[in-house]
Structure 1
């Protein structure tokens, strides 16, 4: 059986032990009452970060709006990239990280309408270019099927720890660069899928967000491994990022988390005359009204975090307030805000 060249450093061994301890703590964290909201927030961060690394300029709010089915004014290709990523990540539980055909299937969804041969390995040469010119010349196209077949065979049958295998696969995948486009986002997705074999929580851990925040270090680790002829430096980097991502999500429930610019408790009270005029409006809806009054430029997700309710419920309450003409929209979907009517 072919074995990719790699070394596991003392740092990586220590991180494996540390990550194992954090996994169970994060699993418990996801079972708290705000777990569903946390999963949604992390999915938005995952999709936004993975595409931003590839040059997509849509904001987290715009990605969230697309997920929620709202209209976003932006370049068609960037919107298509987000829609494709949403559809691909929705397949997460259906994809087997050890099956090569599932990789091709996922690429077909991820790159639909973006490249001509989505779901198929490239038929021509490809290189990775940086500011200094050519950084990496990928293997010839006619070798790709064999190289990917060997890589999947090793992934499935190796006795190495899944954390190690996920990092090695990610690096080797980027080195082979099997597709004409979409290799970066597919490599990060597939590492998460492999980690999902270790624990299902990795579907909801935004490792991509950590990579995005350390994008240059990510590329430097790939370059260092290429120069070394083995993926040891990349293993160290990704292990640290996984550890950092888990560590960052050991905090308090979202309802105790202060959102910048949005107070958790708004001191103002709804005037009695309004309550008498609109007796059918719920207390939860009035709380949204007060949040808008206190911070009119807050996003629906920020209001939801402050009140510990879902983004969908915030939008529902806003619709109620709008229909009662208690609030009105000033400006468009992207740059506008809700205004309290006097």
Structure 2
């Protein structure tokens, strides 16, 4: 699947990206969205909104304001003395999602940038499955976006993201083995185990399992023999 292949390549760029550089953001979006949309790596050229199901919960600012809003956002990022958590919550989520600078891929790119900012602060964040927890609470994620703003500001959204980070850290600290190690352990026990079975055992979305399987296959750690339905996994190294 193109989307997953792109995401793997984008996250492989983390060590080469500067979270304070707007050109690096465009590079990350290009990597994340190439082959999926025509304007990958460029700010949107039309109006967009954030949808939850069939309901539009947020209309983004007019397109002519996007370059200036993003410039101001990165100027703030370069000059602020705020804690990295405040940077992450402000730029990668609330303000980023409010501006919605791209025609598509805003959520994926924003969460990549979240990981990048936090990784610059503490390298442990590079391999934390925050994306999986956001996926798990997708309805609550969109609701937090919808009710933020106005007199209450971004408080609901910030509280939601802090909860996601807290749950992610709790899950990782509860076991010494990573998601990858857990998948390998399950494959050793049952080479024919399915993606859905892995998702159920590990408590993460099937797409999260698919991401790890494809990444490990691309790295030569595992190989798939046979068809998706009747085949099996073999561990190479």
TM range (shorter): 0.7 to 0.9
Q: 1:226, CA displacement in angstroms? A: 2.8
The one-character-per-residue Cα deviations of 1:246-293 (angstroms, maximum 9, x if unpaired) are 1111134339xx979x889xxxxxxxxxxxxxxxxxxxxxxx6xx5xx
Distance 2:222 2:64 in 1: 53
Matches of 2:45 and 2:68 in 1, distance apart?
A: 13
Distance (Å, rounded) in 2 between the aligned partners of 1:126 and 1:83: 25
Deviations 1:277-331 (Å, cap 9, x if unpaired)? xxxxxxxxxxx6xx5xxx463369x7xxxxxxx875664xx9xxxxxxxxxx6xx
1:233-248 aligned at under 5 Å gives the runs 233-248=156-171
Confirm or deny: 8 A CA contact 2:88 2:117 kept in the other structure: yes
| TM-score normalised by L of structure 2 | 0.77
Residues in 1 aligned to 2:222 and 2:22: alpha-carbon distance in whole angstroms:
41
CA contact (8 A) 1:164 1:235 kept: no
Contact 2:49 2:58 (C-alpha < 8 Å) held by counterparts: yes
Query: Are 1:141 and 2:35 an aligned pair?
Result: no
Q: 1:114: Cα distance to partner?
A: 1.3
Equivalent residues of 1:100, 1:152 under 8 A apart: yes
Which residue is equivalent to 2:128? 205
Aligned pairs for 1:204-223 (under 5 A) are: 204-223=127-146
Q: State the Cα deviation string for residues 11-65 of structure 1 (Å, max 9, x = none).
A: xxxxxxxxxxxxxxxxxxxxxxxxxxxxxxxxxxxxxxxxxxxxxxxxxxxxxxx
1:297 aligned to 192, 213, 216, which one? 192
Following the alignment from structure 1 to structure 2, what is the Cα–Cα distance between the partners of residues 145 and 254?
43
Alignment partners' CA distance in 2, 1:263 and 1:136? 41
1:156 aligned partner: 78
Corresponding residue of 2:2: 80
CA-to-partner distance for each residue in 1:72-93, whole Å, 9 max, x for gaps? xxxxxxx111111111111011
Asked if 1:102 corresponds to 2:31, the answer is: no
Aligned to 1:127: 49
Task: Output the CA distance in 1 between the equivalents of 2:191 and 2:54.
Answer: 46
CA distance in 1, matches of 2:85, 2:69: 21
The verdict on how the C-alpha distance between 1:166 and 1:296 changes in structure 2, with shifts beyond 3 A counting, is: closer
Inter-partner Cα distance in structure 1 for 2:186 and 2:80 = 51
Matched with 1:113 is 35
Cα separation, partners in 2 of 1:223 and 1:151, compared to 1, 3 Å: same
* Cα contact 1:162–1:194 (8 A) shared by 2: yes
Specify the alignment match of 2:228 in structure 1: 334
1:111-166 per-residue CA deviation (whole Å, 9 max, x = no partner) reads 11211111111111112233463321111111001000111111121122110110
- The answer to whether the 8 A contact 2:186-2:193 is kept is no
Match of 2:211 in 1: none
1:225 equivalent to 2:148? Answer yes
TM-score normalised by structure 1 residue count: 0.55
Q: How do 1:249-328 and structure 2 match up within 5 A? A: 249-254=172-177, 291=189, 295=190, 297-298=192-193, 312=220, 315=223
